[in-house]
Amino acid sequence: MSGHSNWPEWIYVAVVIALMTWVGAEAWEAERLVEHVPADAKTIIVTGQQWFWTFEHEDGTKEIGELHVEVGKAYKFEIVSTDVNHSFNIHDYVVLIDAIPGRVNTVWFAPDKVGEHDIQCREYCGLIHYNMRGTLYVTEPLS
């Protein structure tokens, strides 16, 4: 329709495509690295239900609403739900995966500092969704 040449637009589109390719490649590389679970990671079974979190360590100890882990060790969460969808989230460590009934989702993290962090539910799950919260305690190794 328009009679003029359109080269500025093509250069612009090429730049946008190059940028998106770069973003995609970086994201792919980063995700590949963070999805690689270390072999020595300890398993913690996380159960979401309306409206609290239960944690079960490898040695069988259970905690409700609180999770104690040791600094410098890797942990693998196996996340399940007994009723509706929830989403297990420790925002400070970018730990996020949905708890879906009938499925086991996994995510891992390795706390690098002693401290306290919030645990919350990030998927709408009903009446008390807003207060489906817990606390993560990262402590010095006992032994």
Partner 1 sequence: MTLELQKPRPIWQIMFSTHHTDVGLLYLITSLTFLFLGGSLALGIRAELFYPGSQIIADSMTFNRIFTVHGTTLIFLFIIPFASAVGNYYVPIMVRYRDMAYPKLNAIAFWMIPPAGVLIWLGFADFTWYATPPYSIISAPGPAADMWIFGLKILGISSVLGALNFVVTILKCKHPDMSIGQIPLMAWAFLSSSLIIIVAIPTFAAALLMLLTDRLGVSGFFNPAMGGDPIAYAHLFWFTFHPEVYVLVIPAIGMMYEIIPRFSRKPIYSYNSGVFAFVMLSIVGFSSWAHHMYATGMSFTEKTVFMVGTLAAVPASAMHVFNFVATMWNGRIRFATPMMWAVGGIALFFSAGAGGVVNSAMPLDFTTHDTYWVVGHFHLFVMGTIAFGSIGYLYYMFPYVTGRMYNETWGKVHFVLSFIGTILVFFTQHVLGLYGMPRRIYDYPPIPEWIAMNQIATVGAMIIGISMVIFLANMIHSSGKGKPADTDDPFGLGGKYYYPFEAKNPSH
> Should residue 26 be labelled a site residue for partner 1 when binding is judged by CB under 8 A?
yes
Query: Given candidates 58, 65, 103, 110, which one binds partner 1 under the rule CB under 8 A?
Result: 103
Tokens for 141, please give them. Answer: 């190794």
Nearest to 123 by CA among 105, 92, 96: 96
Nearest to 46 by CA among 8, 118, 12, 97: 97
| Beta strands 86-90; 75-81: pairing state | unpaired
> Should residue 7 be labelled a site residue for partner 1 when binding is judged by CB under 8 A?
no
Tokens for 79, please give them. Answer: 């996340």
Minimum distance of partner 1 from residue 20's CB (angstroms): 4
Give the interface with partner 1 as residue ranges (CB under 8 A).
Answer: 1-2, 6, 8-9, 12-13, 16-17, 20-21, 23-24, 26-28, 30-32, 34-35, 50, 83-85, 87, 89, 91-92, 94, 96-98, 100-103, 105-106, 118, 120-131, 133
